[in-house]
Amino acid sequence: MGAVRCRETHKVAVIYVGKGQEGRHEILSNRCGSPAYEAFLAALAWEVELESHVGFAGGLRGGGGGGSTAPYLATLTLEALFHVATRMPADTPDAILNKSSGRLANALLDHGTTTWPSEPQTISPRPTKRLGPFKRPLQNAPSQNSQYAT
């Protein structure tokens, strides 16, 4: 009975898109983002060590190719783990998508995607040259009610 989860769980892919980047290879080759992107990640959720984290790990626990830490958020009713592409160690962009049963690909296609463009611009929810559809692209521009717009 102790293994039964009472909260809804979500894994969400977070992808940094550099200026002028459109193809999967160039987008997934990003090993870091801009200072604004890093500030966004820091404000998104708290950082957990995947090896010792006891909450929902979205399939990244135990050296599963997701790096050593990940942003994690929990409320009374849900848990969310953010799969951050710039933190996923891999030799090639395809390895990031396919690493450990395609965890990033699963997060991309099943649960949603947060994309962070390097400068204010519009990102279409259309598939980006085989990367996949962006379900809720985040726009790097302030909105009326928050620092980030969707």
* 111: CATH: 3.40.50.11210
Number of domain units in the chain = 1
Buried b (16+ CB within 10 A) or exposed e, 81-119: bbbbbbbbebeebeebbebeeebbbbbbeebbbbbbbbe
User: What is the torsion angle, in degrees rounded to the nearest 10, for the CA atoms of residue 86, residue 87, residue 90 and residue 94?
Assistant: -40
Q: Quick: pLDDT tens for 30-75.
A: 888 888 888 888 998 999 998 899 999 888 865 556 678 899 999 9
Q: Quick: pLDDT tens for 80-102.
A: 999 888 888 766 666 666 653 35
Whether residue 71 lies inside any domain: the answer is: yes
Cα torsion angle, 97, 98, 103, 106, sign: positive
pLDDT at 9 over 60: yes
Whether residue 33 lies inside any domain: the answer is: yes
Distances, alpha carbon 22 to alpha carbons 16, 27, 96, in Å: 11, 7, 17
Whether residue 112 lies inside any domain: the answer is: yes
**Contact call for residues 15 and 40 (beta carbons, < 8 A):** no
**Contact call for residues 4 and 109 (beta carbons, < 8 A):** no
Which pLDDT score, from 0 to 100, does residue 93 have?
62
Domain of residue 68: give its range.
8-117
DSSP state, residue 95: H
Whether residue 1 lies inside any domain: the answer is: no
Global pTM reads: 0.69
Whether residue 12 lies inside any domain: the answer is: yes
